[in-house]
Structure formats: structure tokens, C-alpha cells
Amino acid sequence: MSAPAAPRPTLEPPSATPATATATATTSATAAATAAAPRRRGLLDWRVRFAILSVVWGFSFLLIKVGTEAYAPFQVALGRVLFGALALMTVLLVRREPLPRGLRTWGHLTVAALLLNTAPFSLFAYAELSIPSSLAGICNATSPLWGMALSLVALSEDRPTRRRFAGLGLGFLGVLTVLGAWHGFSGVDAKGTAFALLASLCYPIGWIYVRRTLAGTPGSPVALTGGQLMVSTLQLALVSALFTSAPTSFPLWPTLSVIALGALGTGMALQMQYGLVTEVGPTTAQMVTYFIPVIATTAGVLVLGEQLHWNTPVGAAIVLAGAALTQTRTAPRKPA
């Protein structure tokens, strides 16, 4: 989930998030913030961290599925942002970095939290009550397609090309293939699928909002995202208190799944992604987006025993090909 450099990132990739956000994966704002900085090398080779990140975000949909076996969807989303916020707060404490300041900044972070965390996390959790985790992961991969379609309307600097239009059409053809449109979508829960697609739509809407409102906001990506997750935690705590009852028990595997979903899939993964962008650049780092549905599908089939028909992997491949085309841009012409 690429755009002209402007704001600092507060976007979680889809599943990441953001994934996908993300997209999404990371934002080009991260690239802008780190383009002039020296490339830093992590303790592990970037390829190893790239693989770990792909697995963590790919397994996020499996963890959501397991979490909903014992907790209401709003509670799964609450645990996700809570433990993600705690993970990033720990990083800030170690680095001695402050949280963002200013009522205007926190006001925009409140909207960003709703669009990029509270709404999509809840929608994905509700979706997986009735659809396989593999299908949710594939729906998440449509986020770049939604982003391209929205950018044509909302972002005047993001000009369309024939290739990108072709990618948009190809991607949605892939969605129809995954859903088995020629069978009249039989065997697919329409409500759950609609929730998953709506969740993936939330990411580009949120990112466009972030680009327009938080450009140049002081603070590191970790501080801004940590603040955003704190706000989302408050939002989901209120919603959970109003619409769900407190859990009467805390089964081991669903509880561990929610903790891992937040601490690893939302906290550690974001921190790792920022490091990858700094070291290898946003173009390479955002390629993690295309591995997420593959891993989500594999995990759902092997671990949860979900059924896999031929149209699911074929449609997913078409979706990813279309998404890749929508992210290509014509290089600017050099002056004579």
C-alpha cells in the first residue's frame, strides 16, 4: 500500500497492515523520511526479516480466526490494538521518544485510528465468523486496487495510465474468479465477504486522509503509529463495552492468538517494516504485500483444514497481478 512523499506514516499494513494497509505494507512517506538517511543494517539479513514479516502478516488472518472462537469480533480487534500499542510504547520507552503533541495532531490521529485500525480490524474479525481465513487474506490483497480507484478521484497528482487501468480491471476480475462468479457465488457467504472487502477499502481511504492532514507532522513513525493505536484502543474499548459482554473465560489458544496478533502482527511487524524501508527502500519492502495472501491461504489450508478449490489460488494470482500493475508508474521524462 505508494504515493508521492508527503506525510509521516501512521498507516498499518493490511494484516499488515495495511496492511496493508496497507496496506498495504508501508507508505512512501516512510521513504521520504528515510531517503536522505544512511542505510542501517539490522542484526538479521534483510531477506530473513522480509521472510519473517511475510509469515507474521500472512498468519494474522489465521490468528483472527482462532481468536473469534472464544471472543467477540470487537474484543479480538481490541486485543489486537491494545497489545500492538503496548509493544510500540515499549519501543518508545527504550528509545526515550515522546508521543505526538498538539490537539490538532491527536484529532487527526483519532480519525486515522478509526479508518486504519478500529474499522478494518473489526470488519475482518466479523468477516471471519463466516468466511475462511484464506478468503479474508485474499480480500485484503484488493486494497491496492481500491487505493488506485480512489486516488483517481481524490489525489489530483496521481494520474492514471492505461497500464494502471488494466491492472484495476484485471484485479477485480481476479476477485470474481475467487468468488466463483460463474456459479452465482454459491458457497460463498456474501455478508462475510462484503465485510472483508469493506475492510480492505478502509485502508486506502485512511491513507488518503493521512496524506491530506498529517503531512509534515513532527514525530517518528513509531511515535505517530503508537499514538494512533492508543486512540484505537480507547475507541474499541468503548464499542466493546457498549455492544459486547465481558468474556467469562480466557481459553489458552484464542487468548494467545489475540496477544500474538497484536504484539507480533501489529507491534513488532511495524517496527520491522520501518527498518526494512530504511535499509532496502520502500519499493522492495512493500513487496511483502504480495506474499501475504499466499501465506494466509497456505496457513488456512494446512493448519485450519480449510477447503481450497482451484479458483481460489488462480483468482488470488490474478488479483496480485492486477495490484502489481496498479502500482507501476511511468518514469518522468528527462529534460533534453
Question: What pLDDT sits at residue 304?
Answer: 92
pLDDT digits (tens, 9 = 90+) for 60-92: 999 999 999 999 999 999 999 999 999 999 999
> First vs last Cα of the chain: how many Å apart?
33
Residue 168 confidence (pLDDT) above 70: yes
At 12, the pLDDT band (50, 70, 90 cuts) reads very low
> Are 23 and 203 contacting, i.e. CB atoms less than 8 angstroms apart?
yes
One-letter identity of residue 38: P
- Is the Cβ–Cβ distance between 299 and 36 less than 8 Å? no
Predicted TM-score (pTM) of this structure: 0.82
User: Please, which residues bridge with residue 20 across strands?
Assistant: 23, 24
Higher pLDDT, 243 or 146: 243
Q: In sequence order, which residues have a C-beta less than 8 Å from that of residue 258 and are 6 or more positions away?
A: 63, 67, 71, 75, 76, 79, 80, 83
Of 32-36, 46-50, 125-129, 215-219, which gets the smallest average pLDDT?
A: 32-36
Q: Three-state SS for 14?
A: strand
Residue 88 confidence (pLDDT): 95
Neighbouring residues of 207: CB distance < 8 A, sequence distance ≥ 6: 1, 3, 11, 21, 22, 23, 27, 116, 147
SS3 7: strand
Average pLDDT rounded to a whole number, residues 181-205: 85
DSSP letter string, 16-32: --TBBBTBBS--HHHHH
pLDDT at 4 over 50: no
Biggest CA-to-CA distance, the chain:
72
pLDDT tens digits, one per residue of 202-257: 998 998 898 889 877 888 889 999 999 999 999 999 999 999 999 999 999 999 99
Non-local CB neighbours of 316 within 8 Å, separated by 6+ positions: 138, 141, 174, 178, 293, 294, 297
Greater model confidence, 272 or 78: 78
At 73 the pLDDT is 97
Residue 31 pLDDT more than 50?
no
Residue 157 has a pLDDT of 56
pLDDT tens, position by position, 291-329: 888 889 899 999 999 988 888 888 888 888 887 877 665
- Residue 94's pLDDT is 94
The alpha carbon of residue 216 and the mean position of all alpha carbons in its chain are separated, in whole angstroms, by: 22
Count the Cβ atoms, other than its own, within 10 Å of residue 40: 9
Under 8 Å between Cβ of 193 and 176 = no
Average pLDDT of the chain is 81
